[in-house]
Amino acid sequence: MSEGAALISTTATPFPERFLPSDDMMANYYLKNKVLGQPMNARIIPGECPHIFSIPPRDLPGYPIETEWHCYCRKPNGQDPRSLWTRVGEDTTVFGPQGNGVGIKRTYALTDQEKESDDISLPGEIEPPREEWFIEEISLPPSVADTDLVFCHVILNKIEKEEEYEEEEEYDDDEEEE
């Protein structure tokens, strides 16, 4: 499978269905069945994206324009010096419907952001939103399967820049009225 085909966006399913599996479904169905070689009755089965932790998401072949997508990848062993991601928070246990632990969830944040531009924006210019990338990684507990394959949910948060110029213009208007 090509790397571009490995990314499954949330809108890749036929209208009006969206691919939004729960943590339990990611661990207990998609990941466990893939690792154990079991057939899956699923319309969408994500592929493997081997470079998700070593290059920025926008540079991935076949990068989708959506703000989130899913893929399989191999768990990085230890701290990879090429990794652009830093672990955030603590591991959490993913529980199945019967209350048993079916997976482990880790969250990563993209840390090697492109450097802020020194360009000065003129009043009225629209600045592009700042982007924050996260990966929610679901792995199987060793009691289920000893594997380095993980299921990833890649998320893009766009943060709009505040309009500083609106406040300045209001201040200038007040001065002119005096």
In degrees and rounded to multiples of 5, residue 119 shows phi and psi of -65, 140
Low-confidence ranges of the chain (pLDDT < 50): 1-6, 9-16, 115-118, 163-167
Q: What is the pLDDT of residue 117?
A: 47
Instruction: Please name each of the domains of the chain with its CATH number.
Output: 3-115+127-177 (2.170.150.80)
Question: Which pTM value belongs to this model?
Answer: 0.70
